[in-house]
Structure 1
Amino acid sequence: MPTVAVLGLGVLLLAGCGSMPVVGDVKSVDASQAGDAQVQVYAVPPRAGAEPGEVVDGFLESMTSDDPSFRTTRTYLTEDAARTWRPAAGTTVLAKAPNRNAPGLGGPEPDATDTTYTLSGQKVAQVDAQSSYRPIAPADYAQTLHLVREKSADGKQEWRISSVPDGLVLGQSDFKRLYRSVNTYYFAAGAPRTADGPAALVADPVYVRNRTDPVTRMDATTQTIRTLLDGPTDWLRPVVDSSFPTGTTLQKGVTSLAPDDQNVLKVPLNTKASGAGRAACRMMAAQVLFTLRDLTSARVERVELESGQKVLCSLGAEEASEFAADSGTGAPVGQYFVDEGKVQRIPGSTKGGGDPVPVTGPLGEGNPRMSAVGVSRDEEKAAGVTEDRSRLYVASIVEESELPAVAPVVSTAASAEDRLSAPSWDGRGDLWVADRDPDRPRLLRLAGGEGAPREVSVPGLGGARIEALRMSGDGVRIALLVGDEGHRTLKIGRVERVGSGEAQEVSVQDLRQAAPQLTDVTAVSWSGRGRLVVVGKEEGGVQQVRYVQADGSTSSSEVLPGVNQVESIAAADDELLPLMADTMSDGIVKLSPGDNWQTVLKKGTSLVYPG
């Protein structure tokens, strides 16, 4: 069964067969090619007299096409199945294109009226109806397709699929060719507010079609805004809010959106949006601007939201910066590390290339000696873990002070490796640390970095232990390195807060495995609003440094070459700042955008950015 790709006026036959043999146990169906994102791929209906195996292959291949409403794809189904099949229900992603197992060496008997084929493969991810991607450790996948003979329009009996699961089944290469990851943005629930509304926007990654979506007929920009208006994914919904009034959608019939020659994007909304006040409308526009930052080829400098013939509000890119996650004082961000027990700072204006100086205050004096540090995002306070990892102290790094007589956090585990992890600050000013004591493992939070620590429940851990952690700048997600049976894996959890003040209860819910192909993870850091940088190894492989999206998805193109024996990694909220790493062989190194790794310091450990 051929599919045809059209580019401009050219026609390319990607794959085809006049009569596909069905003899054999397993048939791998992978007729697509990676190529130009603008190539339009169209399905071809089944030929007259097609054998069952040919019908199954054609159906699977046509799923990878740009067939409007999957009309041609449905011609491989019986009338009833074509009417009820819901391709938008979700997508199952397999490591490779699905194999189809024939029901016997020679297929069905010549006079058979029905037959069944099994689709199989290794499932690596699931994309739900909200376009939310969830990676999983490779698992066996099996699904059956039932075929029957059905009378066609010309009165002949033709094989068609009568029973088919909803959604699409794609190999990983086809999925990456057809879809792209984009971040939609919502406001952190309960975050500190400004006069115009919440100050922190949270990235909620989804996958949209690279080209026109077969179901909605929308281009990528319109798909993304439609998804934004639909609201956050179920996983993130408990901890974020949308400023769009309930029921807000694009005006009926809108399938294409693009900025004008002034880089202004006009977004026509239905009447549900017309009741929003000025402050709420500015927040709505900020959500759109942040969502479109990395999507459109032409930069969107301003968004105008419209309802009917009325402009509701207009917001420029510079104005939208007030809604970004808190980035501290606005001064250049410095890097911090520990050398000879003292916490030191590399001035932010040097972008990692300046001479370090001890921080002001007791943490810069080395008494007691420190082994790890975490710096608040406003760069006014830091938390240091002592050399034996038994105590955590919090002190100012902008003025002289003294350490408290009693450390606010103490671990009594027998060995240093079982005591306190490196600390991390979230964008709300709270300090987090893990006590790895085997007899009493705990995740602890100090509200505002002060007072007594409170234990945070993590119901999804089971018998595993938190070895390291990093908080996101928005304060609603936490990255955990979890140790279990000799391996450390990366998991991302949702931070839920109930109540306020001293009575507030905080928990980490719905842990999700990220980058499941990495069986041993050494270090992790948040990089910008929507992704992490991770150091780890695949089973039997060598160490690699790679980027992972906030939903846990990753790609081979995001592996960073050229650095080895990395023990810790540090990235900033500002992705223009260099990536920093602590290595066993080369000391502390940095990777600036568009450059190669360079050694910064031969001595020093535990380098971090604020956060």
Structure 2
Amino acid sequence: MPDSGDIHAVKASPRADSQVRVYAVPPRKGAPPHEIVEGFLEAMTSDDSDFATARTYLTPETSKKWRPEASTTVLSAAPNSGQAVSGDRDNPGWDYPLLGKQVATVDSQHAYQPVTPTDYHRNIHLVQQNGPDGKEWRIDSLPPGLVLGASDFQRNYRSVNKYYFASGRNVVVADPVYIRQRLDPVTRMDPVTQSVKALLEGPTNWLKPVVESPFPTGTTLKEGTKTLAFDDRNALKVPLNDKASNVGRPQCMKMAAQILFTVKDVTSTRVEQVELQRKDGSQLCVLNGGQAEEFAPDRSGRPEYQYFVDSKNQLALLVGAAKDIDEPENVPGPFGNGRLPVSAAGVARDERTAAAVSKDADRLFVASIISDSELGDPVLRSRGKDRASRLSAPSWDGQGDLWVADRDPAHPALLRLEDGVGTPQDVKIIPGLDGARIEALRVSADGVRIALLLTKDGRTTLKIGRVERHGPKDDPVVSVAELRPAAPQMETVTAVSWAGPSRLVVVGKESGGVQQVRYMQTDGSSSAASILPGLNQVRAVAAADDETRPLVAYSEEDGIVRLPPGANWQTLVKKGSSPVYPG
């Protein structure tokens, strides 16, 4: 360590190492205005308790009003302080503009909201005040919350899934939020405790209309709880306040399941069970990992196979977990024996039934893929004039319902077939698509969210919608509400697939860039580490919710390929298209 020499301020961004830790430094005696601004911006990136050092750059009145936990503005790089402007008689001091490109905000619910990159311009105002060593410059006006560059945000925060129950169903739904990587400066809680606290605060506003929580209103962690400890059996004990003291066992088990699903990916410790405790320390209930699987969104288990359409327009399968590349087999029934040439298919999550679109994309059929059944009548027809304006590839949700889009410009529709049979029901999108056409769709395993590729003016974008069900359970009115961008940084998106409870794998291009295959969170966030090894001319992609299963893609150059965890792309079949996992 040097013991002499001058001190020079450095910008915290860019930085790739998530283990780097910034220690805030208070302002030095007689520091000029520009040094106060730079020091404050650096102090915002630290883990200082209650941002105490950052507050030393503020006037006492401003420090009391500043709420760093209220929101976070995320810029593409660390904010730059522009040319200072001197004040006047009515507003003495200095104005320093903060400049950058805003890419997202994080609200008080910890919800990440991406925005189309836009110019960010806010001001920091400084005044002189009397200090213990004479006159000193301090900040008396600043933007709300924290302002961080993207690399500092990724270093300090991590994405965590909170879990709630789909309304009226015993199925959990992921609700992604961002929490601090280490101790939270304001609460001093560790990441596990922060995650449970965020869970108890309730779902984010976007997801709230379609989920519910069995925790009684007002339930919090027992007062003073900063750390949730694991015992020697990897059981997590969670003490709650008196609002939860009288819940029954079924309700308590669902509460414990929410916590177990929430914390299992936060800690490196394998969570074997969760024990909920009353305020006095007595046990409410205990739930283990096996019991929690009862509430998993896709209870049909791990997918057995990967499917694709072969060179003869027949549905074929590959063994999903095989290390060696085996020859594909055609599925039994009309989709695999050539009775119906197909262009795309969707396999039900139990892998007993599939829906297939005819070669010309004008008809949709549903049939068994485990027995040699007859080909029945089509369940849906499209009157589109060409293949591109007819039926999309179908998708199954975890409830067994089948979804498909009719791309006919004269009669565009998003359609749902309950249990894959019966009359197709028109699903309304609220608000409307404003002239955009549904190019492709994928429904989540929980049936609460849908990913849509929407084409307008020659550009295809990715949006996530909330699936709402109203009315009687046996005949609900289904709609898709509040579409939001899921890959705003991409100029155009080619393909998408669900790849976990709140994760998507997306194929697309950024403005001026080349095609990428990358993982995205459903809230639109991603990191540089989420970009997968390069692959050319990708037209379709498929992933399983089980992360141990390989990613599968169709490349016009390489055919059907797959990417096992920790390996490179492998060619499976030179000629084929439309790869899918069940769902």
Q: CA deviation at 1:257?
A: 2.2
Identity %: 57
- 1:495 counterpart residue number: 467
Q: CA deviation at 1:50?
A: 2.3
AA at the equivalent of 1:188: A
Q: CA deviation at 1:516?
A: 1.5
- Return the match for 1:368 from 340, 355, 375: 340
Q: CA deviation at 1:84?
A: 1.0
8 Å Cα contact 1:332/1:349 also seen in 2:
no
**CA offsets 1:516-553 (integer angstroms, 9 cap, x no match):** 22112111110121201111111222111111112111
More off after superposition, 32-41 vs 504-513: 32-41
- 2:97 counterpart residue number: 118
Matched residues in 2 for 1:404 and 1:500: separation?
30
- 1:247 counterpart residue number: 218
Task: With the length of structure 2 as denominator, give the TM-score of the two structures.
Answer: 0.94
Matched residues in 2 for 1:270 and 1:367: separation?
63
**CA offsets 1:420-441 (integer angstroms, 9 cap, x no match):** 1100011111111111112232
Q: 2:231 is paired with a residue of what secondary structure?
A: coil
- Return the match for 2:514 from 522, 525, 542: 542
Change (3 A) 1:219 1:460: farther
- 2:161 counterpart residue number: 183
Matched residues in 1 for 2:580 and 2:468: separation?
25
Mapping for residues 152-167 of structure 1, pairs under 5 Å: 152-154=131-133, 156-167=134-145
Q: 1:525 is paired with a residue of what secondary structure?
A: strand
Matched residues in 2 for 1:277 and 1:477: separation?
30
Q: CA deviation at 1:33?
A: 6.7
Q: CA deviation at 1:262?
A: 2.2
Matched residues in 1 for 2:211 and 2:182: separation?
29
Mapping for residues 307-346 of structure 1, pairs under 5 Å: 307=278, 308-328=280-300, 330=301, 333-339=304-310, 340-346=312-318
AA at the equivalent of 1:441: P
**CA offsets 1:2-27 (integer angstroms, 9 cap, x no match):** xxxxxxxx9999x944xx8xxxxxxx
Matched residues in 2 for 1:165 and 1:341: separation?
58
In structure 2, the gaps of 5 or more residues are none
Mapping for residues 73-112 of structure 1, pairs under 5 Å: 73-104=54-85
8 Å Cα contact 1:327/1:377 also seen in 2:
no
- 1:146 counterpart residue number: 125
AA at the equivalent of 2:111: S
Change (3 A) 1:351 1:371: farther
- Return the match for 1:293 from 264, 274, 291: 264
Matched residues in 1 for 2:506 and 2:192: separation?
29
- 2:26 counterpart residue number: 45
Matched residues in 2 for 1:297 and 1:331: separation?
22
8 Å Cα contact 2:13/2:149 also seen in 1:
no
Change (3 A) 1:112 1:526: closer
Q: 1:389 is paired with a residue of what secondary structure?
A: coil
8 Å Cα contact 1:184/1:287 also seen in 2:
yes
AA at the equivalent of 1:127: V
- 1:169 counterpart residue number: 147
AA at the equivalent of 2:479: S
8 Å Cα contact 2:303/2:582 also seen in 1:
no
Report how many aligned residue pairs link the two structures.
579
8 Å Cα contact 1:221/1:258 also seen in 2:
no
**CA offsets 1:396-430 (integer angstroms, 9 cap, x no match):** 2233433333x222111111111111000111111
AA at the equivalent of 1:311: Q
Q: 1:364 is paired with a residue of what secondary structure?
A: coil
Matched residues in 2 for 1:556 and 1:367: separation?
46
**CA offsets 1:142-167 (integer angstroms, 9 cap, x no match):** 1122222222245x332222222321
1:223 aligns with 2:189: no
In structure 1, the gaps of 5 or more residues are 1-9, 21-28, 192-197
- 1:59 counterpart residue number: 40
Q: CA deviation at 1:87?
A: 0.8
Matched residues in 2 for 1:512 and 1:184: separation?
19
Change (3 A) 1:16 1:234: farther
- 1:194 counterpart residue number: none
8 Å Cα contact 2:353/2:370 also seen in 1:
yes
Matched residues in 1 for 2:131 and 2:66: separation?
19
Q: CA deviation at 1:495?
A: 0.8
Mapping for residues 425-436 of structure 1, pairs under 5 Å: 425-436=396-407
Matched residues in 1 for 2:141 and 2:412: separation?
50
AA at the equivalent of 1:173: S
Change (3 A) 1:347 1:38: closer
8 Å Cα contact 2:238/2:276 also seen in 1:
yes
Q: CA deviation at 1:356?
A: 2.7
8 Å Cα contact 1:351/1:578 also seen in 2:
no
Change (3 A) 1:182 1:561: same
Q: 1:41 is paired with a residue of what secondary structure?
A: coil
Q: CA deviation at 1:116?
A: 1.8
Matched residues in 2 for 1:323 and 1:501: separation?
19
Q: 1:253 is paired with a residue of what secondary structure?
A: coil
- 2:172 counterpart residue number: 201
- Return the match for 2:547 from 563, 575, 590: 575
- 1:3 counterpart residue number: none
AA at the equivalent of 1:414: K
More off after superposition, 567-576 vs 109-118: 109-118
8 Å Cα contact 2:214/2:251 also seen in 1:
yes
Task: With the length of structure 1 as denominator, give the TM-score of the two structures.
Answer: 0.90
8 Å Cα contact 2:16/2:151 also seen in 1:
no
Change (3 A) 1:16 1:235: farther
AA at the equivalent of 2:135: Q
- 1:5 counterpart residue number: none
AA at the equivalent of 2:343: S
